[in-house]
Amino acid sequence: MAQYSLVAGSVGLITLQNPPVNALSAVVRKGIVSTFERALRDPKVKSVVICGQNGVFCGGADIKEFGTNMSGPPLVPMIHAIEAADKPVVAAIEGSALGGGLELALGCHYRIAHSNARLGLPEVSLGLLPAAGGTQRLPRLIGIPAALDLITTGRHVTAAEALQLGIVDQVTDHKIVDEAVKFVLSVAGKPLDARRISTYPCPPLSDLDTVFEMVMQKVRQRAHGAIAPIACVQAVQAAATLPYAQGMEREKELMATLFTSGQARSMQYCFFAQRAVSKWSIPSGARWDTSMPRPVHKAAVIGLGTMGRGITVALAQTGLSVVAVETQEKQLMEAKQAMPGMLERGARRRGVSLTLHKITYSRDIRAVADVDLVIEAVFEDMALKKKVFQQLSDICKPGTFLCTNTSGLDVDHLASQTCNPELVVGMHFFAPAHVMKLLEVVYGPRSSPQAVATAMQLGKKMGKVSVAVGNCRGFVGNRMLKPYVEQAFFLLEEGATPEQVDGALEEFGFSMGVFKVSDLSGLDVGWRVRMADGFAEPGASSGPSARVRQGRRYSPLGDLLCEQGRFGQKTGQGWYQYDKPGGRVARSDPWLHSFLAEYRTRHGLVARRIDNQEVLERCLYALINEGFRILEDGIAAGPEDIDLIYVFGYGWPRHRGGPMFYAGMVGLTKVLQRLEHYHQAHPDVPFMQPCSLLRRLVASGSPPVHRWREVIKKVHSQL
């Protein structure tokens, strides 16, 4: 609702009230319309201030209403009425003014912001565009380039930047409503014509066509198939080229297409999934709202390879004191040289001050004696990690949480090396750890609720999307990657090329195909895992049994490349070739193509034409099938957890909602049928055998993704 009061004798104060973020629900919109009419009618009222309760102006349209039968007064005429009013209206902005919230403020004649305010038009990240006049008013107010930046990226700006851009008229540290009232009294009686943004011409820009061509090209490249950013550019182009009223028509038309699209549904699902996973619960019964985290003031990182450096930087950026330990002199020196640059770039990107002084370096593991939490990030080798955990257990003060950054080893086994296994959890970061948003928090059977809560909270503080997952080989993300990569290898055996497989996945929306990712992260990473799992064996890659291991189909292609020293970008050759070791631009490699042809001949395989649909179905459905197994095993609490891991950690396109949501969009029956088909064709590939949870869901009528937990619960209760 919206509360109305008369203040300072002549100011109508409208306060939006819809906790927690004063979203513009039907009731709030109704409240604004009726209170505003009242203010206009009342002869005592000479001006109006609009504010939000509880330190938040407005988080925008009520996203929960989307997809329902929306009722109540629409936003566009409501904002027009405010702009057209003949009494001055000031938006008093504190906290957030986002989406429809900022559009409401742009309809006001003046905007005053508290210095804590964040403003933005983030609709693009919900698969939409700012359709309450945002695409037409913002370019008129701040110019086309700045408006394009804000609208196509959805980024939030601080009050200071908003002032600099001209979005707000004044920034204050004082009480926002008091300042707004003072301000509106000072402008009483001044003409309002020049304050109505819709009447402004768009600031002229030379060579408009070229500007939009270039922006469109850049946006398309970044969008990976998402349609909303493209529509945002088109809407701003309308502002630049059409009169306001026609621009509004164009905005409405473009929004109509987006509003009912599957992409918008997927992205809005991701928004709510992100909030849902922060409310974690684990099989022991521990939950986010009953488990108290312990404060972490000082942390340590053991091992300063790529991961350790990223984690150290991420911790320091959070404001924690960090002890960075590396026992090898050369590696320590390299880290000391590299990390200031990483911190500097991060500080510049985020507009914050440098935190170099937060890090102290040591070659001696005993330097961690007084820290609250340690993150081990040594080489992915169980024997080495066990030794480190034994040492940490002896050295650290009582109660120190011991975390491992392993990407898939048994967290419980590491816990058993310590005197207090309840203090041990996995904190699986993704490279580069100071940039990537995902954190898998891995609980073992003995991890205490407090240890899980502390790791989850630390992740949040570090700006990560933290997802609590159970302990199994590869946890959630890497476990699902295995069948996906396996299918990619099989497709090469059967006639596809890395270029074709990557092309199909990139067209689907992944920022990089599976083979490019493999070249980037290093082919040796998977090779080591396959060796540890007893699949890859030196010398076994070319014999007659090369393509069958442990009774199942196996492709030694990756192993063969590693045996040739082709580890990807770092060696200049992998699935592609690069201009030099460390090169970044993947080029097709004729050697690889002849190698594949020769390999097929050697193994009596006849290359066939494979279409992109088969590439996608086999790679993605194999991965999704493993996702269902993970749900069945209780390793992930719900589909949202898996989806966010894939969106934030593995480049799954957000506009496709994550693998499990995507399965629901495709139709579970179809996914099941295609898995059955491929399993029949390849009975020696266990990953293609449809998971029984998927069958159960189909038998239950394929409920929507938010109801899967009910079926999963039933499965667990029967086990």
Ligand X SMILES: CCCCCC/C=C/CC(=O)SCCNC(=O)CCNC(=O)[C@H](O)C(C)(C)COP(=O)(O)OP(=O)(O)OC[C@H]1O[C@@H](n2cnc3c(N)ncnc32)[C@H](O)[C@@H]1OP(=O)(O)O
Stretch that binds ligand X, among 96-104, 398-406, 434-442, 583-591 (CB under 6 A): 96-104
Binding of ligand X by 277 (CB under 6 A): no
Binding of ligand X by 459 (CB under 6 A): no
| Chosen residue from 33, 45, 132, 157 binding ligand X by CB under 6 A | 132
166: left (phi over 0), alpha (psi -120 to 50) or beta: left
Degrees to nearest 5, angle at CA 210 with 207 and 212: 110
Amino acid at position 670, single letter: K
Binding of ligand X by 259 (CB under 6 A): yes
| Chosen residue from 32, 49, 50, 98 binding ligand X by CB under 6 A | 98
- As a whole number of angstroms, the longest Cα–Cα distance in the chain is 94
User: What Rg, from alpha-carbon coordinates, does the chain have?
Assistant: 28
Lookup: tokens for 94: 């504190």
| Chosen residue from 12, 31, 52, 59 binding ligand X by CB under 6 A | 59
Binding of ligand X by 439 (CB under 6 A): no
How far apart, in whole angstroms, are the C-alpha atoms of residue 381 and residue 406? 9
Binding of ligand X by 107 (CB under 6 A): no
Residue 656 burial by Cβ neighbours in a 10 Å radius (0-12, 13-18, 19+): buried
Between 271 and 535, CB nearer to ligand X? 271
CB of 402 to ligand X, least distance (A): 29
Stretch that binds ligand X, among 126-134, 444-452, 547-555, 559-567 (CB under 6 A): 126-134
103 is catalytic: yes
CB of 126 to ligand X, least distance (A): 6
Q: Residues, the chain, total? A: 719
89-93 vs 110-114, strand pairing mode: parallel
Q: Are 588 and 576 in contact (CB under 8 A)?
A: yes
How far apart, in whole angstroms, are the C-alpha atoms of residue 280 and residue 440? 12
| Chosen residue from 5, 37, 44, 64 binding ligand X by CB under 6 A | 64
How far apart, in whole angstroms, are the C-alpha atoms of residue 519 and residue 101? 44
CB of 711 to ligand X, least distance (A): 23
47-52 vs 89-93, strand pairing mode: parallel
Q: Are 695 and 559 in contact (CB under 8 A)?
A: no
| Chosen residue from 16, 79, 117, 131 binding ligand X by CB under 6 A | 131
Lookup: tokens for 713: 């619960």
Between 99 and 477, CB nearer to ligand X? 99
| Chosen residue from 26, 27, 40, 63 binding ligand X by CB under 6 A | 63
Between 20 and 534, CB nearer to ligand X? 20
- Catalytic residue selected from 83, 94, 123, 251: 123
Between 73 and 503, CB nearer to ligand X? 73
CB of 434 to ligand X, least distance (A): 21
How far apart, in whole angstroms, are the C-alpha atoms of residue 60 and residue 544? 63
Between 21 and 144, CB nearer to ligand X? 21
Lookup: tokens for 157: 């700006």
How far apart, in whole angstroms, are the C-alpha atoms of residue 70 and residue 77? 15
| Chosen residue from 15, 96, 487, 518 binding ligand X by CB under 6 A | 96
Between 61 and 286, CB nearer to ligand X? 61
Q: Are 458 and 296 in contact (CB under 8 A)?
A: yes
Between 20 and 398, CB nearer to ligand X? 20
Binding of ligand X by 133 (CB under 6 A): no
- Catalytic residue selected from 103, 326, 440, 493: 103
Binding of ligand X by 127 (CB under 6 A): no
| Chosen residue from 83, 123, 179, 614 binding ligand X by CB under 6 A | 123
Stretch that binds ligand X, among 121-129, 228-236, 239-247, 433-441 (CB under 6 A): 121-129
Binding of ligand X by 251 (CB under 6 A): no
Between 376 and 641, CB nearer to ligand X? 641
Q: Are 267 and 127 in contact (CB under 8 A)?
A: yes
- CB neighbour burial string for 490-525, b if at least 16 within 10 angstroms, e if fewer: bbbbbbbbbbbbbebbbebbbebbbbbbbbebbbbb
Binding of ligand X by 638 (CB under 6 A): no
Query: 3-state DSSP call for residue 587?
Result: strand
Lookup: tokens for 374: 């340690």
CB of 130 to ligand X, least distance (A): 6
E strand or H helix that includes residue 114? strand 110-114
CB of 638 to ligand X, least distance (A): 14
123 is catalytic: yes
Site string for ligand X, 9-48 (x = CB under 6 A): -----------xx-x-------------------------
Residue in the shown chain whose Cβ atom is closest to ligand X: 99
Between 132 and 480, CB nearer to ligand X? 132
- Cα 212 to its chain centre, rounded Å, is 28
CB of 72 to ligand X, least distance (A): 11
What separation in angstroms does the CA of 688 have from each of 206, 549, 551, 629, 660? 57, 16, 15, 11, 16
Please report, as residue ranges, which positions from 357 to 386 form the binding site for ligand X (by CB under 6 A): none
Q: Is the peptide bond preceding residue 20 cis, with omega within 30 degrees of 0? A: yes
CB of 677 to ligand X, least distance (A): 39
| Chosen residue from 12, 31, 52, 60 binding ligand X by CB under 6 A | 60
CB of 565 to ligand X, least distance (A): 48
Binding of ligand X by 62 (CB under 6 A): yes
β-sheet bridge partners, residue 15: 3, 51
To which residue do tokens 């790791």 refer? 455
Q: How many CA atoms lie within 13 A of 124 on its CB side?
A: 27
Binding of ligand X by 247 (CB under 6 A): no
Binding of ligand X by 275 (CB under 6 A): yes
Q: Are 110 and 119 in contact (CB under 8 A)?
A: no
DSSP 388-452: HHHHHHHHSPTT-EEEE--SSS-HHHHHTTSS-GGGEEEEEE-SSTTT--EEEEEE-TT--HHHH
Using CB under 6 A, count the residues that bind ligand X: 23
CB of 61 to ligand X, least distance (A): 3
Contact residues toward ligand X (CB under 6 A) are: 20-21, 23, 59-64, 75, 96, 98-100, 122-123, 126, 128, 131-132, 255, 259, 275
Among all residues, which ones are annotated catalytic? 103, 123
